[in-house]
Amino acid sequence: MSAQSIEPFDAVSVIRAKRDRGRIPDAEIDWIIDAYTRGVVAEEQMAALAMAILLNGMEPAELSRWTEAMIASGERLDLSGVSRATTDKHSTGGVGDKITLPLAPLVAALGAAVPQLSGRGLGHTGGTLDKLEAIPGWRASVSNADFVAQLNEVGAVVCAAGDGLAPADKKLYALRDVTGTVEAIPLIASSIMSKKIAEGSSALVLDVKVGTGAFMKTEADARELARTMVALGTAAGTNTVALLTDMNTPLGLTAGNALEVRESVEVLAGGGPSDVIELTVALARLMLAGVGITDVDPQDALDDGRAMDSWRAMIAAQGGDPDAPLPTARHTHVVTAPASGMLTRLDAYAVGVAAWRLGAGRARKEDPVSAGAGVVMHAKPGEPVTAGQPLLELHADDPERFERALQALQGGYDIGSAADFTADPLIIDTITA
């Protein structure tokens, strides 16, 4: 008969401490994250603790310790073999947010290394890995040895995180999804930052989206999340800064996997939509400044082809063919402008849900995505439109998907007069330590 191991603490005491608005002691934080990862703490106990955190919050030092415990549940990437300074970026997700695609090779072209561990889309927000997998041959899985080698040779890697990185977060993330605790700002911040700190970059820039198509709908919530994450990164010794950026309107003129790759290549070729260029260049400047590279202009590297060369090398290093034709959907449906005037609003959430229903996104993480599906926008807010002109173009492999996508777009845009339109800034604020 084997003796059952005796645990130093119990979950109920930890839950009660947070339920009663107390601070969980450091040793108990370390224990409960470890015990939950080991399966000693039951799912219903962690669900109760997550709800208590949602309702009562966490003190900064308490959250910092919680994040450290999440990191300690797995491995840390060792980037000591990378010859360049490492700098990374994380976006909280939006619609048409293809920024990582031109940004990583752009920053690499200017002398830094970008170790970017990315995710897949869920719901109305797109995933960077889904977009890149639209490129024939490209693979998301990279070994640790190849990861370091590619950072030295090319300067940028965008790939999937291995199972060894913050495994506690993987369990807790799935639990939050089914227990109504996704919105807990301490848990969002620690989820993002545990993985980013474990990734080992010396500098990190956060793009915190705010608006209808973002996770954070209000500027106050987005600001709180940005400040919380900047504080966590700073406490862990990572040079961290955040931008608050607008997500009431989709970024660029496309939402969907291959469609967004095509647009990203246009940006790397020195063209593309002005909002995508503006945000890419602003984030590149901050990423480079974070590692002391301040004597370069990212716009120059887009204009002279260096960023494109870097992109081609990055894609080829992961098995992709940068010259291969991208997948296209089998069917299209055009939505025309119902009146003449100025497009005064194009709702990011409506476009995101439409793209998702067309097949570009997934409802569950196991679902497949269609590489060619999505939405092409023929006008953006502030531009004149004429009755009958193409406003939106829907792309799908299955034409039966159009009806539900069109339902998502009902009430998703307004056409009025120039007097009705106010241009909101894309970049709302910069949050520093």
d(CA 296, CA 108): 12
Q: Which residue has the higher pLDDT, 125 or 210?
A: 210
Q: Extract the tokens encoding 74.
A: 């797995």
Q: Are residues 168 and 284 in the same domain?
A: yes
Burial zone of 403 (CB within 10 Å; 0-12 exposed, 13-18 middle, 19+ buried)? exposed
- 330-349 confidence digits (pLDDT tens): 999 999 999 999 999 999 99
Residue 306 is inside which H or E element, if any? helix 306-317
The pLDDT assigned to 161 comes to: 87
What three-state secondary structure class fits 52? helix
State the CATH number of the domain containing residue 242. 3.40.1030.10
- Clarify whether 90 is annotated catalytic: yes
Q: Are residues 266 and 132 in the same domain?
A: yes
Report whether pLDDT(78) > 50. yes
The pLDDT assigned to 4 comes to: 61
- 79-107 confidence digits (pLDDT tens): 999 999 999 999 999 999 999 999 999 99
Strand-pair partners of 86: 113
Closest CA to 290 of 404, 155, 184, 432: 432
Q: What is the mean pLDDT of residues 306-319?
A: 98
- Clarify whether 176 is annotated catalytic: yes
Which of the residues 65, 176, 209, 401 is marked catalytic? 176
Q: Residue 1 falls within a domain, yes or no? A: no
Q: Residue 180 falls within a domain, yes or no? A: yes
Strand-pair partners of 114: 156
- 363-418 confidence digits (pLDDT tens): 777 788 999 999 999 999 999 999 999 999 999 999 999 999 999 999 999 999 99
Least confident of 11-20, 123-132, 282-291, 292-301: 123-132
d(CA 368, CA 16): 41
- Residue 54, CB half-sphere, CA atoms under 13 Å: how many? 13
Which of the residues 64, 91, 118, 191 is marked catalytic? 191
Q: Are residues 273 and 304 in the same domain?
A: yes
Pairing of strands 203-210, 239-246: parallel
Taking a C-beta distance cutoff of 8 angstroms, is the pair 269, 262 a contact?
no
d(CA 332, CA 406): 12
The pLDDT assigned to 249 comes to: 98
Pairing of strands 427-431, 341-346: unpaired
Which of the residues 89, 90, 209, 312 is marked catalytic? 90
Rounded to the nearest 5°, which phi and psi values hold at 351?
A: -65, -40
- 162-180 confidence digits (pLDDT tens): 888 899 999 998 899 889 9
Report whether pLDDT(1) > 70. no
d(CA 303, CA 33): 48
Q: How confident is the model at residue 121 (pLDDT cuts 50, 70, 90)?
A: confident
In the chain, what are the helix, strand and coil shares in percent, each to the nearest 5?
45, 15, 40
Taking a C-beta distance cutoff of 8 angstroms, is the pair 320, 136 a contact?
yes
Cβ neighbours, 10 Å, residue 354: 30
Q: How confident is the model at residue 119 (pLDDT cuts 50, 70, 90)?
A: confident
Residue 254 is inside which H or E element, if any? strand 254-255
Q: Residue 113 falls within a domain, yes or no? A: yes
Q: Which of 317, 346, 368 is the last residue of a domain?
A: 317
Q: Residue 135 falls within a domain, yes or no? A: yes
Q: Are residues 310 and 173 in the same domain?
A: yes
- 178-236 confidence digits (pLDDT tens): 899 988 999 999 999 999 999 999 999 999 999 999 999 999 999 999 999 999 999 99
Q: Residue 20 falls within a domain, yes or no? A: yes
Q: How confident is the model at residue 125 (pLDDT cuts 50, 70, 90)?
A: confident
- Clarify whether 124 is annotated catalytic: no
Q: Are residues 210 and 130 in the same domain?
A: yes
Q: Are residues 254 and 396 in the same domain?
A: no
Q: Are residues 267 and 310 in the same domain?
A: yes
- Clarify whether 30 is annotated catalytic: no
Rounded to the nearest 5°, which phi and psi values hold at 296?
A: -130, 160
Q: Are residues 92 and 235 in the same domain?
A: yes
- State how many domains the chain has: 3
Q: Which of 283, 317, 351 is the last residue of a domain?
A: 317
d(CA 119, CA 126): 9
Q: Residue 127 falls within a domain, yes or no? A: yes
- Clarify whether 191 is annotated catalytic: yes
**Structural domain range at position 271:** 87-317
Q: Are residues 259 and 193 in the same domain?
A: yes
The pLDDT assigned to 406 comes to: 98
Which of the residues 120, 131, 195, 401 is marked catalytic? 195
Q: What is the mean pLDDT of residues 144-151?
A: 96
The pLDDT assigned to 2 comes to: 43
Cβ neighbours, 10 Å, residue 395: 28
Which of the residues 169, 207, 246, 275 is marked catalytic? 169
Q: Which of 317, 342, 374 is the last residue of a domain?
A: 317
Q: Are residues 364 and 254 in the same domain?
A: no
Dmax (CA) of the chain: 81
State the CATH number of the domain containing residue 372. 3.90.1170.30
Report whether pLDDT(3) > 60. no
Q: Are residues 358 and 283 in the same domain?
A: no
Instruction: Quote the pTM value.
Output: 0.95
Q: Are residues 294 and 349 in the same domain?
A: no
Over pLDDT 90: what percentage of the chain?
92
